[in-house]
Amino acid sequence: MSTRWPRTRAAAGSVAVGALLLVSGALTGRADVAVLGAAPLVAGVWDWRRRPAADVSVRLAASSGVPTPGQIESVVEVGAPDDVPGVLVGVRRGGRELGEVLVAVRGTRRLPLLVRTVRTGLQEVATVDAQGIGAGAASVSVPTRPVARETVVLPARRALGALPLPPRLRGLTGAHESRRPGEGGGLRDVHPFTPGDRLRRVDWRVTARRAPDLRELYVRREHALAEAVVVLVLDSRDDVGPDPLTWRGSNPPRAQDPTSLDLARGAAASVAEAFLGQGDRVGLDDLGVRRRPLPPGGGRRQLDRIRHALAVTQPQGEPAVRLRAPRLPSGALVAVFSTFLDDEAALAAAQWRHLGHRVLAVDVLPTLHVRHLGDRERIAVRLISLAREDRLADLADRDVEVVTWRDAPEVALATLARGARRRAGAGAR
């Protein structure tokens, strides 16, 4: 199917002016005026007869490179017949015009497209259209139908130091010392030799000091190594930006501002990578969606599963009210990533703490921009902030440890880890 190539205004104007000069010169007998009009008239008619007849095509494809958090690489494939000297390619994203470029195609040409973003999850890469330009710019094609592509941006991770551990470790292997006797950990005590002890565990110095006649042997007993079970709980019900005026949903947050869900995805991915790097087991659950949670597991594949599950998580309408918090493995460390703008996440965290879990309440609300707000909006934000502060203070009173992710979370987590070392049976990596 051929595309219509209408004449441009400049070409039509030059032909009209040339024809007017030619007729005026013929009527007035001025050959010089007629010659001046003949050139643009002949050029315009010649270029119009040479207008292309084939279509211009455009396609937006994924790049062959490895995607990197923070930037999206794509390829714009433009196709045009050989008689089209140039193609104007326009790129838009999120309703904003990113730019236009005029390129020479001659068949097919691949143009690299790099989009930088602070957002994560499912999002639009760009919307691209193209318009061909005929010979001498005398004609242009009808713009192609805009083509768009979506992709999933995985959350970026940040390096964390020491992390708090649950009060009770599980398993027969791992990287942390447990309270039960075994092998691999630090010294637990020195005990008289009993059936089942190995001779290589005999401490001859203690034996010589306590039983010089060797009537009794003493062995060194160590703490066994175990692993921690960590459950990450994401609250996907809220996805708010730093501008409170966008919380109603009528206006989307700005593309350059990360939202609370972006911070929650990055925080959960960072905590998961830190624990999985130590050989612990990490699972994932969502308070906003009733679906089967990702059970705790270990290894690199588990980290990939968690990052992908975090990336595709997004608010899904009005969530159903939960009568009780989801069931979790016993003795797990629970990290709740939420804005705590309502009571549901706080109630679930308090219930888990009442059941004996160690609970971390990770606050992922972005730093608010309030300078442009009016008096009524400032009062509303202040009331919401006071209610949220009371909610977090109540969690702290219930022995739920609160961490603010926007304010040096690695320092806060390391402080909680050092405090855990003073409690019997707990430790830090």
**pLDDT value at residue 424:** 38
State which CATH number among 1.10.10, 2.40.160, 3.30.43, 3.40.50 fits the domain covering 229-420.
Answer: 3.40.50
> Judging by beta carbons within 10 Å of its beta carbon (0-12, 13-18, 19+), is residue 94 exposed, middle or buried?
middle
Give the CATH number of domain 57-153: 2.60.40.10
What is the rounded CA–CA span in Å between residue 135 and residue 83?
Answer: 8
Residue 87's beta-bridge partner residues? 103, 132
Percent of residues, the chain, with pLDDT higher than 90 = 34
The tens digit of pLDDT for each residue in 163-183 reads 898 887 765 555 565 555 555
What is the rounded CA–CA span in Å between residue 170 and residue 155?
Answer: 29
Residue 252: pLDDT band by 50, 70, 90 thresholds? confident
What is the rounded CA–CA span in Å between residue 30 and residue 175?
Answer: 100
The tens digit of pLDDT for each residue in 379-423 reads 999 999 999 999 999 999 999 999 999 888 999 998 998 875 444
The tens digit of pLDDT for each residue in 204-227 reads 787 787 787 777 888 777 665 667
Domain boundaries, the chain: 9-49, 57-153, 180-225, 229-420
pLDDT of residue 129 exceeding 60 = yes
pLDDT of residue 184 exceeding 60 = no
Task: Report the pLDDT averaged over residues 124-130.
Answer: 91
The tens digit of pLDDT for each residue in 258-293 reads 999 999 999 999 999 999 988 888 999 998 887 888
Compute the 3-state secondary structure of the chain and give helix, strand, coil in percent, each to the nearest 5.
30, 30, 40
Those residues whose C-beta lies under 8 Å from the C-beta of residue 10, and which sit 6 or more positions away, are 137
Q: How far is CA 130 from the centre of its chain?
A: 30
Convert 320-329 to b/e letters by CB count within 10 Å (16 or more is b): eeeeebeebb
**pLDDT value at residue 211:** 80
Do domains 57-153 and 229-420 share one topology? The answer is: no
Q: Six-digit token pair at 213?
A: 């006649």
